[in-house]
Structure 1
Amino acid sequence: MKGVFDRIEGNSAVILIEEEKAELVVPVNELPNGSKVNTIFSIDKVDEKYHIIGIDQIAEQEAKEKTSNLLAKLRAKSTGSKFKND
């Protein structure tokens, strides 16, 4: 399953696991190297406890491509500023 690094609260990182409607709270220093807000993790559940397996590189790349595509569409629709330049 997937989890998204949502925020930092003190020294803890909050990871949201959407498909389980759950939160995983771990110490920031236990996150995989390269983790930052919005990082997508592969998560495992064992005995009702969640564990970060690592950063999901494929999901990360797909999210970046989707964002780039959306920005390109927005830029293509842009008609410029409504304000006049002096």
Structure 2
Amino acid sequence: MKGVLDRFEGNQAVILIEEEKAELILPKEDLPVGSDVNTVFQVEKDENDNYKIIEIDHKAEQEAKETTQDLLAKLRAKSSGSKFKKK
């Protein structure tokens, strides 16, 4: 399953696991090197219902970036400018 690094709260990282509607909170130093907000991780749940980060999911990150860029491009193409007159 996938988890996304949502935010940092002090020295803690908050990872959202949408599929399970759960949060994983752990110390920043336990994150894989190169982790930042919006980093996508492969996460697994053990027999005690504890979540563990397996690795950064670079493919899912790239797909999310491309989707965001596509949406922004569509919004920009639709925009006809401001409705207010310029003086």
User: In structure 2, what is the equivalent of residue 10 of structure 1?
Assistant: 10
Q: CA deviation at 1:84?
A: 3.9
Give 1:1-86 correspondences, 5 Å limit: 1-47=1-47, 48-86=49-87
Structure 1 letter corresponding to 2:60: A
The one-letter amino acid of 1:75's match is R
Aligned length: 86
Q: TM-score, normalised by structure 2?
A: 0.90
Percent identity reads 67
AA aligned to 1:82 is K
2:39 counterpart letter in structure 1? T
CA deviation profile, 1:15-44 (whole Å, cap 9, x unmatched): 011111111111001111111111111001
How far has the Cα of 1:72 moved from its partner?
0.7
Following the alignment from structure 1 to structure 2, what is the Cα–Cα distance between the partners of residues 81 and 34?
40
Distance in 2 of aligned mates of 1:78 and 1:18:
32
The one-character-per-residue Cα deviations of 1:32-71 (angstroms, maximum 9, x if unpaired) are: 1111111111001112111001111111011001001001
Q: 1:60 and 1:53 mapped to 2: Cα distance?
A: 15
Runs of 5+ consecutive residues of structure 1 not aligned to the other structure: none
Give the deviation of 1:4 after TM superposition.
0.8
RMSD (Å) for aligned C-alpha atoms: 1.2
Aligned to 2:62, what secondary structure does the other structure show?
A: helix
Mind listing any 5+ residue stretches in structure 2 that lack a counterpart?
none
